[in-house]
């Protein structure tokens, strides 16, 4: 067919052949730990690819081996999910942290350095601050909003830098990173023997409202637990990029044992068909909530992409890199921890829980929950204050959500 299909159609059409599954119209769950080879030669060839001994030949479909290596349900997710980001390949993981850690460990070696936009999700921050240094890998934060010239200066001075890692928008401050600037810096200072990779955690906006690959990202990361899973009933992660880079990441995944279970992959397959419609509707709901928050006398500030209050540079990045505003909002109440807790303890419809991107609204306190491990100084520098609340807007009726927020915020009046 010469007609160019859109991602929303591709995810139905691609990655599953009913005739390989007894004609089942939708994929069954392949709940098996191991796979039978037709011939010994097929097993040999499959292992060569799985261990990175040789790349797959053009058009070669390697035999399935063992579910820690590959599984039809995981491969279906991988084949479908690339439609939105426009990448060649994807690797599914048992968690977002699995995707982050396996991707970084694939390309970093003792003596290397990773620089990262600050703040990042608390688990990622822990990995960068505690675990990577224990493997003699240095990690250096730079504040979101660092100019291209300043980032260039950091990378120019340090020939051990291998990865520029961005989380955009940053959890929980909602500030966007300049992806094209990171790409230019990486290209200026890459050497023949060591290309500097740009990795982007696109969990908050993607894959519907931002395509980091279009701005030069080599690896795009997701906590699939969030919008991609979308129903708060699974934990998963994804790394996307070129066939070559993702092939290397998959070797690490096989050895570290971070592949997702078939049941998880199957749930994601169900979720993918509604991803776009969920994200668009959740965004519409969130915009109404943002309008309400701006008007409430006990809300000091709202952090939401594309809002004029985010400042001129953030607006420029938003119009360049994003096609939407998403459905995660951070806001700051009048007061400190006591006041924030008073609001959190009064919500009825929203669930007081970490995580985000699900069909039900979730609300939490980054300072003492998701970002608890950061030092006081780090939190202060990043703007994660005790009066900050992070809200993930779901699919409830927005009028009801606003009524819930109003009755809880009114406790501060
Ligand atoms: C931006 C971001 N990246 C990565 C992760 C880690 O994902 P997971 O909890 O699926 O391991 C999270 C979790 O909240 C996140 O918010």
pLDDT > 70? residue 183: yes
Domain termination site, one of 237, 270, 303? 270
Same-domain check for residues 280 and 263: no
Same-domain check for residues 31 and 87: yes
Same-domain check for residues 218 and 355: no
Question: Which pLDDT band, with edges at 50, 70 and 90, does 10 fall under?
Answer: very high
Same-domain check for residues 177 and 224: yes
What confidence score (pLDDT) does residue 91 get? 98
Domain termination site, one of 270, 305, 338? 270
Query: What is the percentage of the chain residues whose pLDDT exceeds 70?
Result: 100
Question: Which pLDDT band, with edges at 50, 70 and 90, does 142 fall under?
Answer: very high
**382 within a domain of the structure (yes/no):** yes
Task: Find out whether the beta carbon of 237 lies less than 6 Å from any atom of ligand 1.
Answer: yes
Report which ligand 1 atom has the smallest distance to the Cα of 237: 10
Task: Find out whether the beta carbon of 171 lies less than 6 Å from any atom of ligand 1.
Answer: yes
Which residues constitute the domain of residue 229? 7-270
Sheet holding 197-201, edge to edge: 89-93, 237-241, 219-223, 197-201, 161-167, 113-118, 138-143
* CATH number assigned to the domain comprising residue 45: 3.40.640.10
pLDDT 10s digits, 46-66: 999 888 888 889 888 888 999
Could you give the count of Cα atoms lying within 13 Å of 220 in the half-sphere of its Cβ?
A: 31
CA distance 306 to 326: 10
CB count within 10 Å of CB 345 equals 10
Same-domain check for residues 117 and 198: yes
Same-domain check for residues 319 and 347: yes
Report which ligand 1 atom has the smallest distance to the Cα of 354: 14
Same-domain check for residues 14 and 141: yes
Same-domain check for residues 92 and 110: yes
* pTM for the model: 0.96
**1 within a domain of the structure (yes/no):** no
Q: At what angle do helices 148-157 and 179-189 cross, to 10 degrees?
A: 30
Report which ligand 1 atom has the smallest distance to the Cα of 167: 1
CA distance 148 to 178: 8
Question: Which pLDDT band, with edges at 50, 70 and 90, does 143 fall under?
Answer: very high
What confidence score (pLDDT) does residue 51 get? 84
**8 Å CB contact between 387 and 336:** yes
Alpha helices in 89-178 (DSSP H): 96-107, 122-126, 132-134, 148-157
Task: Find out whether the beta carbon of 125 lies less than 6 Å from any atom of ligand 1.
Answer: no
Task: Find out whether the beta carbon of 285 lies less than 6 Å from any atom of ligand 1.
Answer: no
pLDDT 10s digits, 98-136: 999 999 999 999 999 999 999 999 999 999 999 999 999
Same-domain check for residues 226 and 328: no
What confidence score (pLDDT) does residue 61 get? 84
What confidence score (pLDDT) does residue 55 get? 85
Query: What is the percentage of the chain residues whose pLDDT exceeds 90?
Result: 93
CA distance 373 to 121: 10
Mean pLDDT of the chain: 96
pLDDT 10s digits, 293-339: 999 999 999 999 999 999 999 999 999 999 999 999 999 999 999 99
Question: Which pLDDT band, with edges at 50, 70 and 90, does 1 fall under?
Answer: low
What confidence score (pLDDT) does residue 62 get? 83
Same-domain check for residues 166 and 252: yes
Same-domain check for residues 232 and 355: no
* CATH number assigned to the domain comprising residue 383: 3.90.1150.10
What confidence score (pLDDT) does residue 413 get? 95
Centre of ligand 1 from the C-alpha of residue 14, in Å = 27
pLDDT > 90? residue 224: yes
pLDDT > 90? residue 39: yes
Lowest-confidence range among 189-198, 283-292, 365-374?
Answer: 189-198
More confident residue, 194 or 84: 84
Over residues 224-229, mean pLDDT: 98
pLDDT > 80? residue 193: no
Task: Find out whether the beta carbon of 95 lies less than 6 Å from any atom of ligand 1.
Answer: yes
Same-domain check for residues 264 and 131: yes
């Amino acid at each position: 067919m010469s007609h160019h299909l859109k991602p929303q159609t591709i995810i139905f059409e691609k990655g599953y052949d009913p005739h390989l599954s007894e004609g089942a119209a939708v994929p069954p769950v392949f709940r098996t730990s191991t796979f039978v080879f037709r011939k010994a030669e097929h097993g040999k060839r499959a292992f060569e690819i799985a261990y990175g001994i040789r790349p797959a030949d053009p058009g070669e479909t390697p035999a399935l081996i063992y579910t820690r290596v590959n599984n039809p349900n995981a491969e279906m997710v991988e084949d479908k999910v690339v439609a939105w980001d426009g990448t060649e390949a994807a690797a599914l993981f048992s968690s977002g942290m699995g995707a982050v850690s396996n991707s970084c460990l694939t390309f970093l070696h003792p003596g290397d350095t990773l620089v990262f936009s600050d703040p990042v999700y608390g688990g990622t921050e822990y990995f960068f601050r505690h675990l990577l240094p224990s493997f003699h890998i240095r990690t250096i934060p730079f504040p979101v909003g660092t100019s291209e010239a300043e980032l260039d200066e950091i990378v120019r001075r340090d020939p051990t830098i291998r990865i520029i890692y961005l989380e955009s928008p940053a959890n929980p401050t909602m500030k966007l990173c300049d992806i094209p600037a990171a790409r230019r810096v990486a290209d200026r200072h890459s050497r023949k023997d060591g290309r500097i990779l740009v990795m982007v955690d696109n969990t908050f906006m993607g894959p519907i409202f931002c395509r980091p690959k279009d701005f030069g990202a080599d690896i795009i990361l997701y906590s699939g637990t969030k919008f991609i899973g979308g129903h708060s009933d699974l934990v998963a992660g994804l790394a996307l990029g070129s066939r070559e880079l993702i092939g290397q990441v998959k070797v690490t995944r096989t050895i570290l044992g971070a592949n997702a279970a078939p049941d998880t992959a199957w749930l994601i397959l169900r979720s993918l068909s509604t991803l776009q419609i969920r994200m668009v509707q959740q965004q519409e709901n969130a915009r109404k909530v943002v309008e309400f928050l701006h008007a409430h006398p006990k809300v000091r500030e709202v952090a939401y992409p594309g809002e004029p209050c985010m400042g001129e540079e953030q607006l420029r990045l938003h119009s360049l890199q994003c096609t939407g505003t998403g459905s995660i909002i951070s806001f700051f109440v009048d007061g400190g921890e006591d006041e924030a807790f008073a609001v959190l303890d009064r919500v009825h419809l929203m669930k007081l829980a970490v995580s985000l991107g699900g069909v039900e609204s979730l609300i939490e306190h980054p300072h003492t929950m998701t970002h608890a491990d950061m030092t006081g100084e780090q939190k202060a520098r990043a703007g994660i204050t005790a009066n900050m609340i992070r809200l993930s807007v779901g699919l409830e009726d927005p009028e009801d959500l606003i009524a819930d927020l109003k009755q809880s915020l009114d406790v501060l009046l």
